[in-house]
Amino acid sequence: MRVKTHLRSVAALSALAMLAACGGDTADETATEETAAEDTAAEDEGDGSSDESMETEEEAAGGDGNTSDTFTFGYVLPETGQLAFLGPPQIEALGLAIEDINAAGGVLGQEVPAPVAGDEAGQEAAAQQAADRILSEQPSAIVGAAASGMSLAIIDRVTGANVMQCSGSNTAPTFTDYEDDGLYIRTAPSDALQGPVLANTIVNDGYSNIAIVARADDYGSGLAEATATALENAGATVALNETYDPLAREFNAVVSSVEAAQPDAVVVIAFEEGGQILQGMFEAGLTPDAVGVYGADGLRSADLGSIVNESDPSVIAGMKGTAPASADNPDFISRLQEFAPDLEETQFAPQVYDCAVTMALAAEVAGSVNAADFKAEVNGVTSEGTECTSYEECLGLLEDGEDIDYNGASGPLNFTDAGEPGTATIEVYEFDDAGELQSLETVEANPAE
């Protein structure tokens, strides 16, 4: 495993408190649950009605995929909801990719139009409605969703319509073996790769009796399981591995479970609700001075200290965590900020840029803008060819008859057969004495290690 060590200040992210304010109210949650229940009931009907429902859905969405001669994108990304801070960097990165693709001549000689927009909104029903509306336009590909749970809510719709889906931020291990007919890909690494790095960080810090609490969703449970397995393989004891309802009003029971486990280190795998869990832990004496406290990408926020204790952000000093990292690519970040001057956050922007370029290059190789045709070329354009780092450079190589290996804005992709990165660059971060977020090192991980 190759390790590169850096120490640099990390740009501030949007406040987690603001994320909570973006969530739906009780009525919205009830409507979402009712819609989900109706969808489940429809799927649970007899085989005939289920098939008929699927046929109707695909007819409405355009089950033949894009039958035009123009490559078109849609996106289902968080414009509102608890992950709204991840929307702008991903949306702008897609816009920059389209600009770069068009500057190089487009896809198969045709200019790529602006993407059809859709908001995942942190609600399955909203994400599904957005996907259906976009699919009615018969795009070549949909970028998104940002959250693994929202992607799982739309993946069957998208791939069933012969449209490719690419996420730059889905990390749940669920997608690796998902039956998607080769039409779902991602440029973010699976948490099966992040978990061992998090576990090694904890063990190398000298801890051996670990409590893990995680969101009860595919992201939380997947990363928790990967971390627990790696901890046990390293000889540590997992005293607690418990999931919780992220929509709960309070998390006293979670804190009580951690206390009862008597760990020497605690891992909290959370989104915005993690601030409340940490606050409860610290009030119970489970501070970074008393036990090791660790998070993951969902808690990688420069504002976390202020969320836990507004008057004393340094309360989280010493807390560590891990998150998928992009290659050190200041040129890309500079170009993105020039393209979108008001953009403050850049998390997952390189990965989304690579989604767009990878799919466009696959279409060039296949000679078709229909995902049913170019899906077979996606993995190949990311490995075992002449290295290239931009759409223009890669396109030139293709025109010269060469095989290409696209090394993107987020780094080398080297897709596996599952259509995801075979290696991952994982950042280890820490909050310093003032509670400010610092990047300690980046670690390259792959399944063979």
Residue 29: pLDDT band with limits 50, 70, 90: very low
Q: What is the pLDDT of residues 172-216, one digit of tens each?
A: 999 999 999 999 999 999 999 999 999 999 999 999 999 999 999
- Listing from the earlier edge strand, what are the strands of the sheet with 184-186? 116-119, 73-77, 141-144, 164-167, 184-186
Residue-wise pLDDT tens digits, 293-344: 999 998 988 889 999 999 999 999 999 999 988 777 889 999 999 999 999 8
Asked if residue 21 has pLDDT above 90, the reply is no
**pLDDT of 27 higher than 60:** no
Q: Which tokens in the block code for residue 306?
A: 């202020």
Size of the chain in residues: 449
Residue type at 98 in one-letter notation: I
Q: What is the pLDDT of residues 357-377, one digit of tens each?
A: 999 999 999 999 999 999 999
Assign 47 a pLDDT band (cuts: 50, 70, 90). Answer: very low
**pTM of this structure:** 0.81
**Quick one: pLDDT at residue 8?**
31
Least confident of 20-29, 335-344, 400-409: 20-29
pLDDT attached to residue 444: 86
pLDDT tier at 448 (50, 70, 90 boundaries)?
low
DSSP codes, 205-243: TT--EEEEEEESSHHHHHHHHHHHHHHHHTT-EEEEEEE
* CATH 3.40.50.2300 correct for 16-24+61-190+328-412: yes
Class of domain 192-325+427-445: alpha beta
In DSSP terms, which residues pair with 210 in a beta bridge? 238, 265
Q: For the chain, what are the domain ranges?
A: 16-24+61-190+328-412, 192-325+427-445
CA distances from 236 to 193, 194, 197, 255, 412 (A): 18, 17, 14, 21, 32
Q: Is the pLDDT of residue 37 over 50?
A: no
Percentage of the chain lying above the pLDDT 90 cut: 77
Instruction: Return the minimum-mean-pLDDT range out of 1-5, 49-53, 345-349.
Output: 1-5
In the beta sheet, which residues pair with residue 203?
Answer: none
CA distance 411 to 276: 35
Q: Which pLDDT does position 58 carry in this prediction?
A: 41
What 3-state class would DSSP assign to 167?
strand
What pLDDT does 344 receive? 85
The confidence band for 85, taking pLDDT boundaries of 50, 70 and 90, is confident
pLDDT tens digits for 253-298? 999 999 999 999 999 999 889 999 999 999 999 999 999 999 999 8
- Please tell me whether residue 106 adopts helix, strand or coil conformation: coil
**Between residues 27 and 338, which one has the greater pLDDT?**
338
Q: Which of 352, 364, 324 is nearest to 194 (CA)?
A: 324
The single-letter code of the amino acid at 167 is: S
Residues 402 and 336: their CA atoms lie apart, in Å, by 29
**Do 192-325+427-445 and 16-24+61-190+328-412 have the same topology in CATH?**
yes
For residue 424, name the pLDDT band (cuts at 50, 70, 90): confident
Residue 131, preceding bond cis, omega within 30 degrees? Answer: no
Q: What is the pLDDT of residues 142-180, one digit of tens each?
A: 999 999 999 999 999 999 999 999 999 999 999 999 999
Q: Can you give the pLDDT at residue 155?
A: 98
Determine the pLDDT at residue 272.
85
pLDDT of residue 347: 85
DSSP-derived letter for residue 85 is: G
Read off the pLDDT of residues 214-224 as tens digits, 9 standing for 90 and up: 999 999 999 99
- Distance, CA of 65 to CA of 159 (rounded, Å): 9
Is the pLDDT confidence value at 62 over 60?
A: no
Average pLDDT, the chain: 87
pLDDT greater at residue 423 or residue 37:
423
